[in-house]
Structure 1
């Protein structure tokens, strides 16, 4: 039985577009996190909102960075 080559589930031509959009979403969420932290008082902050915003921003920034590396030819 011949082995099948490993291929990407995402077309290579989509890498730059995915990188731009995911990094933009991640940066907007990061900015909203910082704005929330600086404008709310300590007593009115919500840990769940902070963790959710930080986790989603981290997800988008992580995958955006991955697609940026892949688009520039650094295969990780």
Structure 2
């Protein structure tokens, strides 16, 4: 006897999608703003490539997941 397949379900409840979208996009935009402020206020001699890469990566992750949850909250299942 074969096992019947289990339906695919999200690890996050659908009720949390709008909240997660808002929070992640807000955090991503704040980190992006801090990145731009850092770039505008620091001189070329004082800049750190590792700090720039880490800030960019954190902003990218939060904006990416925030966009994903925003699409899911509006009914676009990706």
Instruction: Please indicate, yes or no, whether the TM-score normalized by the shorter chain is above 0.5.
Output: yes
Instruction: Determine which structure has more spread, i.e. the larger CA radius of gyration.
Output: 2
Residues 3-44 of structure 1 show CA distances to partners (whole Å, capped at 9, x for unaligned) of: 000000000000000000000000000000000000000000
Moved over 2 A (4+): none
Match of 1:4 in 2: 6
Q: What SS is found at the alignment partner of 2:45?
A: helix
Q: Return the alpha-carbon distance in structure 2 between the equivalents of residues 18 and 59 of structure 1.
A: 13
1:47 pairs with one of 43, 46, 49: 49
TM-score (norm 1): 0.99
Q: Pairwise mapping of residues 1-76 of structure 1 onto structure 2 (< 5 A)?
A: 1-76=3-78
Q: TM-score, normalised by structure 2?
A: 0.97
Following TM superposition, by how much is the alpha carbon of 1:46 offset from its aligned partner in structure 2, in angstroms? 0.3
Give the number of equivalent residue pairs: 76
Q: Which runs of 5+ in 2 are unaligned?
A: none
Structure (1 or 2) with the greater helix fraction: 1
